[in-house]
């Protein structure tokens, strides 16, 4: 079976419903996909990782064959966009926002030392006994395409930035 065999809009809607129920991280993990870098299915104002949604939808339409794995088909404009649009879905190409979060994170790093937020790493050291690994809010390891989080643990107060919703608004 191939991705081109997918013909059911309902199967895609079922995959979207599962995504909404279990969350993005668990959905991607369950089906073995990484986050979309560029193309997203847009449904009711929300965006969904296109390749993962269509791979999972294959399993809904063809339960005997199951979902397609990430390496069973190629993503991109010609395959994903054409199929999703044929099934009545909009595909958004978010490449126009490439670098927005990185640029914002680097700017915050540059300006933070002049403000209280610039002392966050030192406050972590004093209050939590965590050693200072960087004087910056964000590091190369914590800056991603659609979000960035301060260098620190998940069990503590977070300072995050990110792009949200189909309009890619910064939060």
How high is the pLDDT of residue 138?
80
Residue 148's pLDDT is: 84
Whether 165 has a pLDDT exceeding 80, the answer reads: no
pLDDT tier, 155 (very low <50, low <70, confident <90, very high otherwise): low
The number of residues in the chain equals 171
Angle at 169 between CA 54 and CA 37, to 5 degrees: 35
pLDDT digits (tens, 9 = 90+) for 85-142: 999 998 887 654 456 887 788 788 878 888 888 887 777 788 888 777 677 788 767 7
Question: How high is the pLDDT of residue 149?
Answer: 84
> Is the predicted pLDDT of residue 169 greater than 80, yes or no?
yes
How confident is the model over 96-106, as pLDDT tens digits?
445 688 778 87
pLDDT-derived band at 6 (thresholds 50, 70, 90) equals very high
How high is the pLDDT of residue 58? 97
Q: Closest Cα to residue 13, out of 85, 87, 67, 73?
A: 87
Q: Which of 20-24, 77-81, 106-110, 166-170 has the highest mean pLDDT?
A: 20-24
Distance of alpha carbon 157 from alpha carbon 121, whole angstroms: 11
The pLDDT value given to residue 77: 63
26-33: which pairs have CB atoms within 8 A and are 24 or more residues apart?
27/52, 27/56, 28/52, 31/55, 31/56, 31/67, 31/69, 31/70, 32/69, 32/70, 33/70
**What pLDDT sits at residue 170?**
84
Structure confidence by residue, pLDDT tens digits, 32-90: 998 887 788 988 878 899 999 999 999 999 999 999 998 898 876 678 888 999 999 98
């Amino acid at each position: 079976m191939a991705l081109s065999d997918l013909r059911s809009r309902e199967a895609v809607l079922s995959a979207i419903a599962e995504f909404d129920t279990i969350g993005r991280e668990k959905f991607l993990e369950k089906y073995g996909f990484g986050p979309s870098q560029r193309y997203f299915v847009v449904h009711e104002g929300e965006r969904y990782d296109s390749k993962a949604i269509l791979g999972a939808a294959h399993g809904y339409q063809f339960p005997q064959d199951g979902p397609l794995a990430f390496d069973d088909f190629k993503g991109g404009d010609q395959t994903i966009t054409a199929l999703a649009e044929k099934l009545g879905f909009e595909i958004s190409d978010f490449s126009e926002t490439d670098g927005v979060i990185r640029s914002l994170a680097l700017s915050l790093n540059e300006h933070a030392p002049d403000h209280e937020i610039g002392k966050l790493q030192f406050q972590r050291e004093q209050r939590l006994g965590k050693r200072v690994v960087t004087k910056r809010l964000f590091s190369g390891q914590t800056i991603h395409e659609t979000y960035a989080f301060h260098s620190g643990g998940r069990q503590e107060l977070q300072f995050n930035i990110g792009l949200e919703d189909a309009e890619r608004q910064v939060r």
